Amino acid sequence: MPDDIYAEAAQQWDLPRLYADLTVVKRACNGKQNSALTELEKDCLRGLLCGHSPTEIALRLNRDVTGLRVSLSRDGLYDYLEVLTEQRPKNWQQIAFILERSGYRLNAVTLSAVPTKSAPRQDLAAYIDVSRFYGRSAEQATLHAWLTDFTVRVAAIVGMGGIGKTSLVAKLIQDSFSDASLEKAGVEGVLWRSLRDAPPIGELVQDIRQFVTDSTELTITSTIDQQISHLLSELRQRRFLIVLDDWETLLQEGELSGYCAIQYRGYSRLLQRFAAEQHQSCLVVLSREQPIELAAFAGEPVVQSLKLRGLQPADAKTLLNTRGFAGQEAGLSELVSIYRGNPAALKLIGALIQDICDGQVSQFLAQTSLVLGDVLSNLLEQQLSKLSDAERNVMFWLAIVGKPTAIADLKLLMSTEERSHLLTALGSLWRRSLIEKNTDTKRLLPESNCPATVPLHSSTPLPTLFSLEPVVMKCVLHQLVDALWQDVETVIEARSISHLGILKTHLLLKDEETFSITLYHVRRILYRVRDRLVSTFAGDVEQLSDQLQQILGWLKDQPPEAIGYAEINLTKLLELINPSQAS
């Protein structure tokens, strides 16, 4: 009877032979001829072959994480694998690759024409399930042209988390090897590395060189630049595709987008030199943010960049149809639009709709709150955590306005200092794939000097409007409410207006006649802040109101630059908390 846990491993691996060989090894190791692999060892082995970490396996099996790790490492499965393959895996990710080279993988996709006796490879492309791949024909054609063009030295695939960057490239590579198009283009092999664990740059360069030269006996040089020089010299003679996934792991937090952190500047140098120097190979970079090193090569044929967006509506519906929504048209188009065709989001939300709403999309859409789910929330929060202060300010303004907004209208809301950083921040957010931009005939804030509507036949250039897509808006609003609540709490505790923060810099609500921010949208923000504060004060509205009144008293007679929007915001907040005390 097939194993239930991680049963999918049997589709790609010769499990009976692997079990039998490991049993022989285990008996030889412990000297007991009647011993065999335990069910736990088999479960763990299948989990590792499916790409799951020991932690994930332990949680799936309801086992203690530390205990499972110890049992794998100490006179356990890792030791049996070492004896069987004559190679000790450095980490759990290498186990599948070592076993593939040992011939246990069924119908393996060979990702290199180079003999497999090279250094251990962490070729994730071989283990990405692309059997259910939808659409992307135009993107595949574009990428295929780049990867078979000897003039393209660097190709960057950029997009939000979950948008499908890894799947797109993996699908293309597997298809290209199947039809021999890469071989015909002179590509000798593909090396795929994930940078999720950010290995030292020296190790990575050495790893690539061993793959390219099919040799472990290489000259070790003292500097990173010298190592890169050796690598590029070798790549001038032969053509390889080198894929570096998860580039965003290397990027600096709290700064503008695309810059490598100080400890990863060697990677920055590698990317610069791959783009600038002559060679025959192609470095493919997958990232949530556009690497800043490529900006200098904009428009040059040696560097190409693809900004990946969501699936086309028809392809997104096909994805949903395969997940139990076939024959159900009501609400599918709206669902695809809300989540902007993001494949990961649609899969997660689709599963939630099946579980909670019995597969009824219309019932799910009738809920008042947009649902993100833990996985999607974590992806977004990871990206938002990297923002600079200037970028975060712009994101908060776009969340408050709640509609596509022109640069001129954003400037009307901002202080002089904020305006000076606006264009730079917008450019950085665009490179992070966190904002949308489009051109419309509507001007949303009539305080601008431009007319409220620009006729379609007018020669006046249409303004570019910036906005947040719904899933990003949801996450940013959560952070905005949290920041406002914390600012009020800090001012009360510190008894000082020097901690006003967002209360000072961002206007939450103004007279509706002179300001076309959606009243209901902004009141929702204020209501959430109110509810958090009331909860903090254990429902004591009078005490909370007194504290806000005291803060308003501190703001009296202060110069405008010292309080910004704080007095307006706190007054509106007080009106919601205790209308009888609002002046």
Does residue 582 carry a pLDDT above 70?
no
Q: What is the largest CA-CA distance in the chain?
A: 89
The per-residue pLDDT for 178 is 67
Q: What is the pLDDT of residues 439-451, one digit of tens each?
A: 654 433 433 333 3
Domain spanning 125-307, CATH class:
alpha beta
Contacts of residues 573-579 at CB distance under 8 Å and 24 or more positions apart, as own/partner, are 573/488, 573/526, 573/529, 573/530, 573/533, 573/548, 574/545, 574/548, 574/549, 576/523, 576/526, 576/527, 576/530, 577/530, 577/533, 577/534, 577/541, 577/544, 577/545, 577/548, 578/541, 578/542, 578/544, 578/545
Q: What is the pLDDT of residues 185-237, one digit of tens each?
A: 777 888 888 888 888 888 888 888 888 887 666 666 668 888 888 888 888 87
Domain residue extents for the chain: 7-107, 125-307, 313-366, 387-468, 473-577
The per-residue pLDDT for 327 is 64
Three-class secondary structure of residue 436 per DSSP: strand
Q: Are 36 and 13 contacting, i.e. CB atoms less than 8 angstroms apart?
A: no
Residue 440, beta-bridge partner list = none
Alpha-carbon radius of gyration of the chain: 28
Q: In the predicted model, what is the mean pLDDT of residues 18-26?
A: 88
Instruction: Answer with the residue of higher pLDDT: 258 or 581.
Output: 258
Indicate the pTM of the whole model: 0.65
Q: What integer best gives the mean pLDDT of the chain?
A: 79
Q: Among 1.10.10.10, 1.10.3720.10, 2.70.98.40, 3.40.50.620, what is the CATH number of 387-468?
A: 1.10.10.10
Q: In the predicted model, what is the mean pLDDT of residues 318-330?
A: 76
